Structure 1
Amino acid sequence: MAISLSKGQKVDLTKTNPGLTNIVVGLGWDVNKYDGGQDFDLDSSVFLLNVNGKCASENDFVFYNNTKGANGAVEHTGDNRTGVGEGDDEQIMINLPAVPDSIQKIAFTITIHEAEARNQNFGQVSNSYVRILNEASGTELIRYDLGEDFSIETAVVVGELYRHNGEWKFNAIGSGYQGGLLSLVKDYGLDA
């Protein structure tokens, strides 16, 4: 049975699942009825962070145009441009033991492509979630449904995997940002 988290809640991942090595992080969302004449494309991105909470280089920013990071330990499986259908809209595969020690946190985000130009925001998105599955068994271990009602935000940090005493934990963040992907890239220490 998956552990269902609330905003701000933290939970052990590897300690409570001994032998867990490969996980799938699934992100999903639905677009509310929207009649703006533009496509609505949400994108998941992953930031691989050092002890200071920053990316050491552009290689630590994993998304649809840079699908592998952490020496191949983190892989984005591709861009879903519509979000239509059941299940995860985008997924990230992670081999936890292979993540270099220099990476202390892995932040998962969802942004709206060209949100400002298209006059779109997370107030037009519902049923957003992040979940972690055991890749070997397909069992859902952790789920965080973002019940928050974002209105003007164009980017959301949904959660973070982080190291603590040699184990991996998950933190349900659920923080919204204005300024879309650009603001996240800057906050995580990269040049836009």
Structure 2
Amino acid sequence: MAINLQKGQRISLTKESAGLSSIMVALGWDPVKSSKKGLLGSLFGGTEADIDCDASVFMLRENDRITGKQDVVYFGNLASSDGSIRHMGDNLTGAGEGDDEQIMVELNSVPSDIQKLVFVVNIYNCEKRNQHFGMIENAFIRIVDTKGSKELLRFNLTEDYGSKTALIVAELYRHGTEWKFAAVGEGTTDKNISDMLKKYR
């Protein structure tokens, strides 16, 4: 049975699943339904705004630093140069149940100088569309052992992120020979990936 984590908690993935080598990091969210005025609104219920959330991975080296664009996996660069991390594609609306975006990580193939993987989500064109994470609900991240498709853990983001336009969702980091997971859940007002990367340069 998957472990449900709260913000700030950490867990060793290596200890939870012996021989763990390949995982799927899945993120999901739903647009908040808003009431729609008029006859059609009362007949058919609320409507959902199209909110394009983008999940990305920052590959950090010593001292939590990123060296260049090659260390960012996102919708514009779907795989790391070494092939250890693969983004499975962009979901433009967040509609539908279950995972919205999935990222595959071959833990044994991540270069040894990469100390940490940071999983983030930002809202595409948030300023132009006047959108923020208060318009999103049911956000989560989950880790699945791809061998046997066993869900190892889940972290539901339950805070009110009403004024935030980006989220640092979680971190996967080396601790000796182990890989550990940290549930971060930190909201920021960054407008795009470039803004988010500034703290890691």
Instruction: Please indicate the TM-score interval, normalised by the length of the shorter structure.
Output: over 0.9
* Equivalence for 1:59: 70
* Equivalence for 1:120: 131
Alpha-carbon contact 1:38-1:118 (below 8 Å) kept: no
Deviations 1:42-77 (A, max 9, x none): 110110001211212211010011011150000100
Alpha-carbon contact 2:59-2:71 (below 8 Å) kept: yes
Distance 2:7 2:139 in 1: 13
Q: In proportion to residue count, which structure has more helix? A: 2
Which stretches in structure 1 are left out of the alignment for 5+ residues?
none
1:136 to 129, 147, 153: 147
* Equivalence for 2:53: 42
Q: TM-score, normalised by structure 2?
A: 0.90
Shifted more, 180-189 versus 135-144: the winner is 180-189
- Number of aligned residue pairs: 189
Superposition CA RMSD, Å:
1.6
Percent same amino acid among aligned pairs?
A: 46
Q: Post-superposition shift, 1:33?
A: 2.1
For residues 131 and 38 of structure 1, do their structure 2 counterparts lie closer, same or farther at Cα, with a shift above 3 Å needed?
closer
- 2:176 matches 1:185: no
Q: Post-superposition shift, 1:183?
A: 2.2
Which stretches in structure 2 are left out of the alignment for 5+ residues?
37-46
Alpha-carbon contact 2:22-2:104 (below 8 Å) kept: yes
Alpha-carbon contact 2:32-2:48 (below 8 Å) kept: no
Look up the equivalent residue of 2:89 and give its one-letter code.
Answer: G
Q: TM-score, normalised by structure 1?
A: 0.94
Look up the equivalent residue of 2:24 and give its one-letter code.
Answer: V
Greater gyration radius: 2
Secondary structure of 1:123's counterpart equals helix
